[in-house]
Amino acid sequence: MANIVVVFDFDKTIVECDSDNWVVDELGFTDLFNELVPTMPWNNLMDRMMMELNSNGKTIEDIVQVLKRIPIHPRIIPSIKAAYTLGCDLRIVSDANTFFIETILKHFGIRECFSEINTNPGYVDEGRLRILPYHDLNKPPHKCNLCPPNMCKGLIINRIQESISCEENKRFIYLGDGSGDYCPSLRLKEKDFVMPRKNFPVWDLICKDPSLVKAKIYEWSDGEDQERVLHQLINKISMEETAEFISTEFKLQTPSFSTHEAMPKALRVLH
Ligand SMILES: [Mg+2]
Ligand SMILES: [Zn+2]
């Protein structure tokens, strides 16, 4: 399904926890982290925490070992591999960082499934991990009041939409859990799908007024559920494309899928 772009958030969507918290907690720096949380933006805090780890003798290898142990639901990797094999264009949009995400995806053998990873730059500088903001803070701010200064995921979705707009009828499926996934959900089109994780912040935000979201909404709860819903949506899109192909090919009025789509705007649950 070369016409489907699947955009994944990373933390609590691909991996089961927040990778930032996982590293800090596993290396024993939770107390310092909690002390510093109220004093600076998250992105700066993570850069600061990496400095603290370094000055307390924690090495890059210590961080890598911890990242390799991050919990992931057993169905996530097969689901991603299957979507990739079907020809979907898989991308990541995450407020974690390139170092954590690349290390984890390579460890699970799924790095090559993704055509693009949009996240905060993370790199090793003299044995210390540096984490920088995705948006250059020296440039004019992004002006989105839903998102933190370092990253507006909605702008990234708009950039992807523009980059593929010349290509035929691409359709997006966006998966996320956090409040940062709300802005990109609002930027999807009617033909797209958003998969908010049930009872997580983005789901709460969407539920407040689902009519603000143009895309069709399909919730999921855990990795098994995510796999099921994602692959049913991929099937659904491919069936719609086939129906469209047949109707143009034979110039017939095929029964439209819109009778189903015209249901009152609400969270849809696939069974
Ligand atoms: Mg997340
Ligand atoms: Zn935004």
Q: For residue 90, is it within any domain?
A: yes
The count of structural domains within the chain is 1
Q: Confirm if 5 and 173 have CB atoms less than 8 A apart.
A: yes
For ligand 1, a single-atom ion, which residues have Cβ within 5 Å?
9, 11-12, 177-178
State the pLDDT confidence band at 186, using cuts at 50, 70 and 90: very high
Q: For residue 270, is it within any domain?
A: no
Which residue is catalytic, options 9, 18, 192, 225?
9
Q: Is 222 a catalytic residue?
A: no
State the pLDDT confidence band at 258, using cuts at 50, 70 and 90: very low
Q: How many whole angstroms from 177 Cα to the centroid of ligand 1?
A: 5
What ligand is nearest to the CA atom of residue 156? 2
- pLDDT of 138 reads 87
- pLDDT of 251 reads 53
**Domain region containing 161:** 4-16+73-96+107-115+141-261
- pLDDT of 259 reads 41
pLDDT of 254 above 60: no
pLDDT of 21 above 80: yes
| Average model confidence (pLDDT) across the chain | 92
Give the list of residues 6+ apart from residue 182 with CB closer than 8 angstroms, or none: 146, 201, 202, 205, 206
What ligand is nearest to the CA atom of residue 151? 2
Residue 20 marked as a ligand binder = yes
Average pLDDT over residues 227-256: 79
pLDDT tens digits along 33-43: 999 999 999 99
CATH number assigned to the domain comprising residue 183: 3.40.50.1000
Q: For residue 53, is it within any domain?
A: no
Residue 95 marked as a ligand binder = yes
How many residues are present in the chain? 271
Q: How many whole angstroms from 187 Cα to the centroid of ligand 2?
A: 9
Q: How many whole angstroms from 59 Cα to the centroid of ligand 2?
A: 34
State the pLDDT confidence band at 245, using cuts at 50, 70 and 90: confident
C-alpha–C-alpha distance, residues 250 and 221, integer Å? 41
- pLDDT of 169 reads 82
Read off the pTM.
0.90
